[in-house]
Amino acid sequence: MLKFKIALIFFLPLFAFSQNEKWPAEKLKQDLTIFKEIREKANSGLYKYRTKQQIDSIYSWAFSQINTPKSLIEFYKIVLQITDFEGSLHNDTTLPEDFEKKYSSGNVFFPFPVKLINDQLVVNFQNSKIPLGSQIYSINGIETSKLLSTVYKYYTTDGYNITGKSIGIGSSFAKYFEMEYGPQKRFTVEYSLPNQTKRLKKTVSAVSNEIRKENFKKRHSLPIDSIQYNRAKDKYSFKVISNNTALLSVHTFVIGRNAKHKEHLAYKKYLDSCFNYLSKNNQIKNLIVDVRNNGGGTDPNDIVTFSYLAEKPFRENASAYVNFQKIPFAEYLVYEETEPQKKQEEKKDFEDELKEEFPKSENGKYIQDEKFNPLLQAEKNSFKGQIYLLISPRIASAGSLFASLVAGNTKGIVIGEETMGGYFGHNGHTPIEYELPNTKIKTQFSIVNLEQDVPKKPNQIFGRGIIPDYEVKQTFEDFMKNRDTQLEYTLKLIEE
């Protein structure tokens, strides 16, 4: 599958407006018009989950919000609302780097990491001010339910999924709060102590971004969820955990750039040795496959992994297409290269690859050539026993494609929480980035609209992530003791 990323590596020009200065409405409308036209021409997933009427409606709302001058932050939040509304976890819209650094400088951040436990916002940090595990009801007078709904737009997910936004809340709550409600010097927190209902209040001082990051590294839940937010040191592992059960954990599919990369080849060799062992050991009837921390990666790691679980021939996807072969609005592209000649070469290489993989036009769509989506065979030593797939809201992109294939095309039992990546499909594989001419806001999205090779199932809903057969969430007690609720549940299910 084509892998190409246009990324910004040069420095942005000095920002023309101060943090609080208002931008003229006409400049903002120019940028919003370009933003809309780019997505209509280039984004094949624009109408994947929303009708044209719904998309037109949100743009009508957006234009109505900029009839008067707005600050850059105010305009950014409007554009971000549209980005999130489209429903793709590969969507990303960002402020100019120099502006964000200035805006977020100083002691302006909420000091404590938090975590959503059964829809309750709890303190995820051992400290002397507000005890670990305390439930937060409001911050600076803003009720938690309202607070969460306003910051959801900062972390995009596929379709109508909400569970995946908990990952963003857990990692970047303080940043989202500062962006949404402005820099704060202090925070008045209404809370209750663990396992109590009496509401208390305490005011705590804001901290710097550096301290915010250090506190996050020291959060209470680090032993359980650390891999969710950091690239795994041990990307994959295999172990026999009882006389009849083995555990395969794959924390990421960022395992080499392509099928020829030495890191991918080492992974393939490792998988082969694991499944050779399983095929020769008839006592091991159960295989737990843990991909709860897998946020995606590169081909063909996801497909190779599934080939050891597949029961029959399969494809990576049922269909795939893009909207263009010639890049629209190329004048606003963000390039890797800086020299004009090299930019043109980069653009040509990208378009040539698109023409090779998506050569045929049908009803305004360029369809993927079959040679890029061949029929694949299950490995000879593929596992023949019972599969238990552990999933979570962290699973996205290639991680969710793999999990969808297991959930849809095997007899595997799926345990955990709904993924942020879609079951039926997503927009992925090929990211492209643009920069708006006035505000210098950057927007990135993936251009390949693909339908995954999975069947319809009663418990799988269009526009949602992979729905588990057994929904198992971490309990508050398990959070406090850092116990792995889903794994323990699975082991008990196997015993029974």
Average pLDDT over residues 192-197: 96
Residue 14 pLDDT: 36
Query: Would you say 270 and 228 are in contact if contact means Cβ atoms under 8 Å apart?
Result: no
Residue 47 has pLDDT above 90, yes or no: yes
Give 3-state DSSP helix, strand, coil % of the chain, rounded to 5. Answer: 35, 20, 45
Average pLDDT over residues 366-387: 96
Query: Would you say 445 and 431 are in contact if contact means Cβ atoms under 8 Å apart?
Result: yes
Residue 101 pLDDT: 87
Nearest to 283 by CA among 410, 385, 413: 385
Average pLDDT over residues 99-113: 93
Residue 55 has pLDDT above 70, yes or no: yes
Helix (H) or strand (E) holding 143: strand 142-143
| Tokens describing residue 357 | 């993989």
Residue 337 pLDDT: 85
Hey, what CATH topology would domain 229-495 get?
Answer: 2-enoyl-CoA Hydratase; Chain A, domain 1 (3.90.226)
Residue 17 has pLDDT above 60, yes or no: no
Sheet holding 286-290, edge to edge: 236-242, 245-250, 286-290, 386-391, 413-416, 470-471
Residue 91 has pLDDT above 80, yes or no: yes
Tens digit of each residue's pLDDT (9 = 90 or more) over 330-355: 999 999 888 989 999 999 999 999 99
Residue 6 has pLDDT above 90, yes or no: no
Task: Choose the weakest-confidence range: 18-22, 130-134, 267-271.
Answer: 18-22
Residue 226 pLDDT: 73
The answer, yes or no, to whether the previous bond of 300 is cis (omega within 30 of 0) is yes
Residue 13 has pLDDT above 60, yes or no: no
* Distance (Å, whole) CA 339 – CA 336: 10
Residue 19 pLDDT: 62
CATH of 114-220, one of 2.30.42.10, 2.60.120.10, 1.10.10.10, 1.10.3720.10: 2.30.42.10
Residue 230 pLDDT: 65
* Distance (Å, whole) CA 178 – CA 3: 35
* Distance (Å, whole) CA 410 – CA 484: 25
Average pLDDT over residues 481-486: 96
Tens digit of each residue's pLDDT (9 = 90 or more) over 211-241: 999 999 999 999 988 777 766 678 999 999 9
Tens digit of each residue's pLDDT (9 = 90 or more) over 439-482: 999 999 999 999 999 999 999 999 999 999 999 999 999 999 99
Residue 208 pLDDT: 97
- Cβ neighbors of 31 (< 8 A, separation 6 or more) are 75, 436, 437, 438, 439, 441
Residue 74 has pLDDT above 60, yes or no: yes
- Rounded (10°) CA dihedral 467, 468, 469, 472: -130
Residue 313 pLDDT: 96
Query: Would you say 310 and 410 are in contact if contact means Cβ atoms under 8 Å apart?
Result: yes
| Tokens describing residue 116 | 């959503």
- Cβ neighbors of 207 (< 8 A, separation 6 or more) are 107, 109, 110, 111, 215
Calculate helix-pair angle for 222-229, 165-181, nearest 10 degrees. Answer: 80
Query: Would you say 393 and 293 are in contact if contact means Cβ atoms under 8 Å apart?
Result: no
- Average confidence score pLDDT of the chain: 94
Residue 231 pLDDT: 63
Q: Binning pLDDT at 50, 70 and 90, where does residue 3 land?
A: very low
